[in-house]
Amino acid sequence: MIQLDARDKAILLELQQESRLSYAEMGSRVGLSPAAVHDRVKKLERKGVIRAYKIQVDPEALGLKLTAFVAIRLDNNFTGREIQPGLEQFHQIEEVHSIAGENDLLLKVRTSDTKALEALIYRIKAVPGIARITSTIVLSTALEGRPLVPGESDESIELR
Amino acid sequence: MIQLDARDKAILLELQQESRLSYAEMGSRVGLSPAAVHDRVKKLERKGVIRAYKIQVDPEALGLKLTAFVAIRLDNNFTGREIQPGLEQFHQIEEVHSIAGENDLLLKVRTSDTKALEALIYRIKAVPGIARITSTIVLSTALEGRPLVPGESDESIELR
DNA sequence: ATTGAAAGGGAAGTGAT
DNA sequence: ATCACTTCCCTTTCAAT
């Protein structure tokens, strides 16, 4: 695993919230010179810790007023890996997770409305290997896109 | 709702994948001058279509090797809104959705391992109003952080 | 990791179509 | 509303210490 010191973590935390900060501004926040911050950021990019620079868009502004989680159970002779290409074609699918439990896949999807969700579900059902679909509609989203905080190796010691 | 033309959508699609593009580069991609792109981006920021500029971090690099979805059922006399402040304190919670169905809330959480997840679940259980927790562990993630594509108002016509 | 210098890009204003 | 151009200033980038 990659070693990150407190300053790397501080930099990552800042950039997860506002990636357009100048190196000077970042430097004064974490206590480093602009060039030093620059070096660290470039290293984090090279190591793949920073995967991409993106914008977060308001889904509603794009007309995507409905979010849903779609759980999929596969036929016994299919794997998630085989199904995946058939799912990628649907741009409404934002995430695809392989999961443990009753179902095999969990998708996060966004559509304009229930009608579009219905259409999407029918098309997903047509993908070979899919046995059952269970959809859960999101009524509202309280938190989303929170910055990831590095896992402390001793988070569990508070269990007693 | 905000009106977005084809060029706005093209700009948003590009920025969702790479937000550090120069206005010159963006302009040549969508067929506009740098200044025109600049104007549009600023407008999209002002309208709130662009919510934030962020980096996407590799969770594993931060030691977050476990992702899970935690479904919560509330006691009948509690609402999701009342519970939310009690959940925000846990930085391991990346998303909180209020949902329809058997459960009331669906959380996306990230921890370093199963032990840390166990500790988190116990602490969530201590939040007043929470009746039952059902956790689903993510085995692998095939897709995540896909760009949102504007919802076409006629997506459902393919249903027949 | 800091300093300093050079190159590039962003922001804002202008006038014109 | 877009374009082409110009200006200034900040930022990025890379060299050297």
Tell me: pLDDT of B148 over 50.
Answer: yes
pLDDT of amino acid B3: 85
The reply to whether A6-46 and A59-137 are identical in fold is: no
pLDDT tens figures, B73-128 = 999 999 999 999 999 999 999 999 999 999 999 999 999 999 999 999 999 999 99
At A65, phi and psi to the nearest 5? -90, -5
Q: What is the pLDDT of residue B159?
A: 44
pLDDT for res A125: 98
Verify if strand C has an atom below 7 Å from the CB of A34: yes
Determine the Cα angle at B115 with ends B107 and A6, to 5°.
85
Q: Residue B153: what pLDDT?
A: 59
Distance CA B17, CA B76 (A): 42
Q: What pLDDT, on the 0 to 100 scale, is given for residue B155?
A: 55
Least confident of A29-33, A84-88, A155-159, B146-150: A155-159
Average pLDDT score, chain A? 94
The tokens of A56 are what? 């977060």
pLDDT of residue A120: 98
Q: How confident is the model at residue B1 (pLDDT cuts 50, 70, 90)?
A: low
Q: Does domain A6-46 have CATH number 1.10.10.10?
A: yes
CATH C-level class of A59-137: alpha beta
Q: Coil, strand or helix: which one is B113?
A: coil
Q: Can you tell me the mean pLDDT for B48-69?
A: 97
pLDDT at A158: 52
User: Which of A53, A58, A111 has the CB atom closest to B51's CB atom?
Assistant: A58
Q: How many angstroms is C1' of D17 away from CA of A43?
A: 22
Alpha carbon distance B140, B65 (integer Å): 10
* Structure tokens belonging to residue B128: 């007043």
pTM exceeding the 0.75 threshold for the entire prediction? yes
Residue B66 in 3-state DSSP? strand
Under DSSP, the state recorded for A148 is P
Dihedrals φ, ψ of A39, to 5°? -55, -50
All residues at 6 or more sequence positions from A76 whose CB lies less than 8 Å from its CB, including other chains: none
Mean pLDDT to the nearest integer, B4-32:
94
Q: State yes or no: pLDDT of A74 exceeds 90.
A: yes
Which helix or strand (DSSP H or E) is residue A97 part of?
strand A93-99
**Cβ atoms of residues B111 and B64 within 8 Å:** yes
Give residue-wise pLDDT tens across range B61-81.
999 999 999 999 999 999 999
- Residue B70, beta-bridge partner list: B107, B135
pLDDT at A140 > cutoff 90: yes
* Domain locations along chain B: 6-46, 59-137
pLDDT for B152: 76
Q: Which residues touch strand D (CB under 7 A)?
A: A 21-25, 34-35, 38, 42; B 7, 31-33, 35-36, 39-40
Question: Does pLDDT of A131 surpass 60?
Answer: yes
A92 at interface of B, judged by CB pairs closer than 8 A: yes
- Position A159 confidence tier, pLDDT thresholds 50, 70, 90: very low
* Residue A23 CA, nucleotide D1 C1', distance (Å): 35
Average pLDDT over residues B32-51: 95
CA of A79 to C1' of D9 (A): 56
pLDDT of residue A1: 65
**C-beta of residue A97 within 8 angstroms of C-beta of residue A69:** no
A145, exposed or middle or buried, with CB in 10 Å at 0-12, 13-18, 19+?
middle
